[in-house]
């Protein structure tokens, strides 16, 4: 995400400091999922929760994820998908959005 949304995506300095002290094998970087600021084949695990569905160019995003994952790396994704059999009426019912 761009600088305009930094306050939404970047943890507070205090929280960031606490996270870095507690978890030493994780590095945080701010970036756009369609152009990840990471070298090819350098990521062990890619985790996405509720982001993929917001990206209009899904093939590009998946391409980026697989570009940065090392051989044998893992992708763990939780997201919403719309299956073909779901009717427009069901889509209107938020209670039926997860299963």
Ligand X SMILES: C[S@@+](CC[C@H](N)C(=O)[O-])C[C@H]1O[C@@H](n2cnc3c(N)ncnc32)[C@H](O)[C@@H]1O
| Residues making contact with ligand X (CB under 6 A) | 1, 5, 8-9, 32-34, 49-51, 54-55
Q: What is the smallest separation between the CB atom of 12 and ligand X, expressed in angstroms?
A: 15
- Looking at beta carbons only, is 25 or 49 nearer to ligand X? 49
- Looking at beta carbons only, is 51 or 68 nearer to ligand X? 51
Q: What is the smallest separation between the CB atom of 54 and ligand X, expressed in angstroms?
A: 4
Helix (H), strand (E), coil (C) string for 37-81: CCCCCCEEEEEEECCHHHCCCHHHHHHHHHHHEEEEEEEEEECCC
């Amino acid at each position: 995400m761009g600088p305009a949304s930094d306050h939404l995506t970047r943890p507070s300095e205090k929280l960031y400091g606490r996270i870095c002290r507690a978890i030493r094998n994780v590095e945080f970087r701010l970036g756009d999922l369609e152009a990840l600021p990471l070298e090819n084949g350098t990521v062990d695990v890619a985790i996405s929760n509720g982001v993929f569905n917001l990206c209009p160019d899904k093939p590009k995003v998946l391409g980026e994820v697989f570009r940065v994952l090392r051989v044998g790396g893992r992708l763990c994704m939780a997201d919403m998908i719309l299956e073909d059999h779901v009717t427009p009426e069901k889509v209107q019912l938020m209670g039926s959005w997860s299963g």
